[in-house]
Amino acid sequence: MERNLKRTDLARKISEYQSTHDETIATELMKSLEPLVMSVCRKFYMDGMEQDDVLQEGRVGLYKAMRDYRPGYGTTFVSFAVRCIRCQCITAVKAANRYKQQILSQALSLDVTMHEDNERRCWLDMLVDEDVPAPGEEMMIEESIAQCDTILRELLSPYHFRVLIARLEGGSYTSIARELGRNPKSVDNALQRAKKLIFGYLEQHDDLDAWMLEHYFAHIADRRADDDDASAIA
């Protein structure tokens, strides 16, 4: 079996496993999807637990996803598996640390602060992981970006969302205010409000975390950089 399954092959294998409960198929799937487990689990930290223990929790989450996934859920298997893996890790963190706030600060590392305008990509400087994606991670990143975009558009008002995107694209308070017909103070208030809403959502939901935001923010910045490069060439 290839290390990275195509989506159609993956869906077929999952369906076959659920129908037959063939442990050989389960083993093949677990091996193929190990990069997915490693990618999700590396964002978690548990006091007194080795990295192997974290990975084992992630594998349990993957197994549950393989067992419970249904196409009718309206999401892809990879998205469902990411959620199961993440939830399994969060449950383990809770058992290890006991206090929810301590769990969130250790397991979901999103220490975002706002800087002055001379910090062009202030959020991204703190969030973006420069590591090269592991094999099999690209598909998960792509789906996470789409999911993150949907969540933020629903969570934030259109104005707050536009300000957030403009800031991530490198806009200064002044330039954003000019573009949107507001004043810099309004832009700052919108960013603070967006940050507060995002933090609140992270504490109450499992379908958004720092890893997803990290790649979503990087995607926005890279998209703007590509546009700038294209304009320069033209």
Which of 88, 107, 126 lies at the terminal end of a domain, its last residue? 107
Residues 202 and 147 in one domain: yes
Residues 137 and 201 in one domain: yes
Residues 59 and 36 in one domain: yes
Q: How many domains does the chain have?
A: 2
Residues 113 and 132 in one domain: yes
Least confident of 47-51, 159-163, 220-224: 47-51
CB hemisphere CA count around 220 (13 angstroms)? 26
- pLDDT tens column, 165-212: 999 888 888 999 999 999 999 999 999 999 999 988 888 887 887 778
| Confidence bin at 77 (pLDDT 50/70/90) | confident
Residues 116 and 230 in one domain: yes
Residues 102 and 217 in one domain: no
CB hemisphere CA count around 108 (13 angstroms)? 24
Residue with the larger pLDDT of the pair 51 and 136? 51
Dihedral (C-alpha) 130, 170, 43, 23: value to the nearest 10 degrees?
A: -80
Residue with the larger pLDDT of the pair 120 and 17? 17
Q: Answer whether residue 135 shows pLDDT above 60.
A: no
Per-residue pLDDT at 212: 81
Residues 195 and 157 in one domain: yes
DSSP state of 128: -
pTM surpassing 0.75?
A: no
Range of the domain at 228: 109-234
Which of 107, 126, 160 lies at the terminal end of a domain, its last residue? 107
